[in-house]
Amino acid sequence: MRCPFCEAQDTRVIDSRPTEDGHAIRRRRECDKCGKRFTTYEKVEEITFMVIKKDGSREAFDRNKVLNGILKACEKRPVSMADVERIVDDIERSLNNMMQKEIESKVIGEIIMEHLKDLDEVAYVRFASVYRQFKDVSTFVQEIEKLLGDDTKGRR
């Protein structure tokens, strides 16, 4: 690791510890030449993948699009930002675990809906109405009936 102060190549690790979220290692380093100390972070490189959209076009996965979609669905709902961040992290992790270079947008949408169903039912219906492009009230009612059907199964 190159020293950010004097550009020397020889630095040594003085201390290593995991970050609070456990997804990176924080390393305290010292330059052998100038003696100054600095911090580096080491984390696993995520696999970048492409999203295949409904029209067949492809674009790079954008975590912020997922975050913004969930935030819009959770608007004015009792959902904390920490919960939203956790869900986005879970979604991104599960997509990376698929180990595919291309993932269809409908797969991503379904994963988001599964997470929202567990988090907040109103946010789930809001997201579903946009994602599934509800055409009329009956489609909306059908989705709510499916949601209520899942709830009654879970209560038995």
Tell me if 133 is assigned to some domain: yes
- Give the count of domains, the chain: 2
pLDDT class for 150, splitting at 50, 70, 90? low
- Tokens describing residue 152: 């009654």
Return phi, psi of residue 148, to 5°: -65, -35
Tell me if 83 is assigned to some domain: yes
Q: Residue 102's pLDDT is what?
A: 95
How would you classify the pairing of strands 37-43 and 11-18?
Answer: unpaired
**Residue type at position 58:** R
On whether both 93 and 65 belong to a single domain, the answer is yes
pLDDT class for 156, splitting at 50, 70, 90? very low
On whether both 17 and 71 belong to a single domain, the answer is no
Terminal-residue alpha carbon distance, the chain: 58
On whether both 81 and 29 belong to a single domain, the answer is no
Tell me if 33 is assigned to some domain: yes
More reliable by pLDDT, 150 or 17: 17
Q: Residue 34's pLDDT is what?
A: 97
Determine which of 13-17, 58-62, 88-92, 132-136 has the lowest per-residue pLDDT on average. 132-136
On whether both 32 and 105 belong to a single domain, the answer is no
Outline where 98-120 has alpha helix (H): 105-119
What are 101-142's pLDDT values in tens digits?
999 999 999 999 999 999 998 998 889 888 777 777 777 677
Give the range of the structural domain holding residue 33, as residue numbers without chain letter. 11-43
Total length of the chain = 156
On whether both 30 and 72 belong to a single domain, the answer is no
Classify residue 51 by its DSSP letter: E
What are 27-77's pLDDT values in tens digits?
999 999 999 999 999 987 767 899 999 999 999 999 999 999 999 999 999
On whether both 111 and 128 belong to a single domain, the answer is yes
pTM: 0.62
On whether both 32 and 57 belong to a single domain, the answer is no
Tell me if 23 is assigned to some domain: yes
On whether both 28 and 75 belong to a single domain, the answer is no
* 21 contacts 15 by C-beta, under 8 angstroms: no
